[in-house]
Amino acid sequence: MGDNYQNKTMAPVMMDYDFKLKTQTERSKVEDLFDFEGCKVGRGTYGHVYKARRKDGSDTKDYALKQIEGTGLSMSACREIALLRELKHSNVINLIRVFLSHTDRKVWLLFDYAEHDLWHIIKFHRAAKASKKSVMVPKGMVKSLLYQILDGIHYLHSNWVLHRDLKPANILVMGEGPERGRVKIADMGFARLFNAPLKPLADLDPVVVTFWYRAPELLLGARHYTKAIDIWAIGCIFAELLTSEPIFHCRQEDIKTSNPYHHDQLDRIFNVMGFPQEKDWEDIRKMPEHATLVKDFKRSNYQNCSLSKYMDRHKIKPDSKAFSLLQRLLLMDPNRRITSEQAMQDPYFTEDPLPTQDVFAGCPIPYPKREFLTDDDQDDKSDSKARQNQQQQQQQQQQQQNNVTRFRY
């Protein structure tokens, strides 16, 4: 009887082993299907991104292959994959396939390839401005970019998804091809569903959003933050597109701690916007860090500061429709900040030139293509941010026991 029992219990084990061998031989390997050796176009603590093409020549499309840093599937990678498999919109990056490499336990994500991003586009304009060179772009390009960003975020928010890490580097723009000039919102590693959180989102991730684009309520420790944090970040990006300068640029290193309060970043915001008045932000007294704010700051130091003065210095007139929309995106009070849907209906988008699907409006694209990186190269986009993200990664490891992970794409 003992032998019969042993035989019965061994059978499923052998079946599982056979099944494993069978699937191992049948499983598609990313290196068998795509050429990407020597074609690295991005690097960071999130991993590596390669420009790839199919080996069988079945199409001539370029693809983006992202190899996730580390081994196995982190919780945030699972979250990113799960969300992107469900989300389908023309202004959200399209996840085509996931490859799991069982030999080295690496995870690869296959995306449509985007030749440009707003970080590089803004950098190009900033360099041209510094050298007093003109860049020929359609008059309505900024408007088209903003409209498509809002359209993509409206889709995410309508599906109860907060992006939580909007910044120029995460806004891709397609190059030549069938989707020429189309905006793609990328980097869903921080994204979260917010329809029914089990606990306040601030308990799950105390610090979110790259801090130049971090809304004041986050800096003041808000626990129940909303989709208004994405709208603030879009306002920051809009201002940067208009001026070629990050509006709330702060020199101090972003230290990733569980304390969201950041004195220097708040100081930078107040130097542009002025100090918030209680009549303009009724709930400011309810912010967890309000006592620290009152102790650290004097309203009188910011009496001559306002968004209109800042933008006027950059030749954006306070009576323009662009400024009017910017002002509504950058309201200090998150409850009064407009929604993506309201922003898309703003008069700014109904005056000429109207926004176009191809943000380049059929004109030649003036921006250089992505360069390939070597192992010794540093993608300058991640110079200071790499240090920030390294700190963030260390914090992830400490917090995994509590199911609290943060991940950047």
Which residue positions form the known binding site?
66
And the tokens for 300? 């009188």
How far CA 371 is from CA of 38, 42, 114, 128, 380, in Å, comes to: 11, 9, 13, 19, 12
Residue type, 102: H
The radius of gyration of the chain from alpha carbons, rounded to an integer in Å, stands at: 24
Cα separation, 84 vs 370, in Å, equals 24
Give catalytic status of residue 319 as yes or no. Answer: no
Both tokens assigned to 310? 């800042």
* Angle in degrees, 0-180, between the axes of helices 228-243 and 321-329, rounded to the nearest 10: 140
Residue 236: closest CA among 263, 208, 273, 182: 273
Burial of 175-194, coded b for 16+ CB within 10 Å and e otherwise, reads beeebbbbbbbbbbbbbbeb
The annotation places the binding site for ATP at 66
Asked if residue 353 has a cis previous peptide bond (ω within 30° of 0), the answer is yes
Question: Is residue 48 within 8 Å of residue 42, measured between CB atoms?
Answer: yes
Cα distance from N-terminal residue to C-terminal residue, the chain: 57
Find the catalytic residue in 117, 151, 165, 379: 165
Q: Which two tokens stand for residue 360?
A: 């380049």
Q: CA 2 → CA 6, 10, 11, 12, 20, distances in Å?
A: 6, 12, 15, 17, 28
Which residues have a catalytic role annotated?
165
